[in-house]
Amino acid sequence: EAGVTQFPSHSVIEKGQTVTLRCDPISGHDNLYWYRRVMGKEIKFLLHFVKESKQDESGMPNNRFLAERTGGTYSTLKVQPAELEDSGVYFCASSQDPKTAYEQYFGPGTRLTVT
């Protein structure tokens, strides 16, 4: 069974540009989460999808970040315009159902560098 995949693995962009990160969860997993770790900080929750609906987006830092999950399959996280403080590693995770939400399967992450 394929795990959670993320694309790209690494992205380097200039301040002010736009970047879109993609996450493909494990097939059949309705729950999809985005987390990020900015330099020197801890992994922080960004938001949670249940199928195509946003269940909790309380961790989204500001309106420069837009997450979508059309069709309830893969998800994208767009940062527009990117700022220097957005640099870090963005993780996506998925879980099968609410009863097993504690067991999340994480992808390898996308390392975003904003220069």
Partner 1 sequence: LAKTTQPISMDSYEGQEVNITCSHNNIATNDYITWYQQFPSQGPRFIIQGYKTKVTNEVASLFIPADRKSSTLSLPRVSLSDTAVYYCLVGQTDSWGKFQFGAGTQVVVTP
Q: How far is the CB of 89 from partner 1 (least distance, A)?
A: 9
CB-wise, 79 or 91, nearer to partner 1? Answer: 91
Per-residue string for binding with partner 1, 2-41, x by CB under 8 A? --x--------------------------x-x-x------
Residues 57-86 that bind partner 1 (CB under 8 A): 58-59
CA 106, CA 63: separation in Å to the nearest integer?
A: 25
Task: Give the closest residue to 108 by CA, choosing from 24, 29, 20.
Answer: 24
SS (H, E, C) the chain: CCCCEEECCEEEECCCCCEEEEEECCCCCCEEEEEEEECCCCCEEEEEEECCEEEECCCCCCCCEEEECHHHCCEEEEECCCCHHHCEEEEEEEECCHHHCCCCEECCCEEEEEC
CB-wise, 8 or 98, nearer to partner 1? Answer: 98
Q: Considering only the stretches 14-22, 71-79, 80-88, 106-114, report the one whose residues sit in contact with partner 1 under the rule CB under 8 A.
A: 106-114
Candidate residues 19, 24, 29, 48; the one interacting with partner 1 per rule CB under 8 A: 48
Q: Considering only the stretches 11-19, 52-60, 66-74, 79-87, report the one whose residues sit in contact with partner 1 under the rule CB under 8 A.
A: 52-60
Q: How far is the CB of 10 from partner 1 (least distance, A)?
A: 10
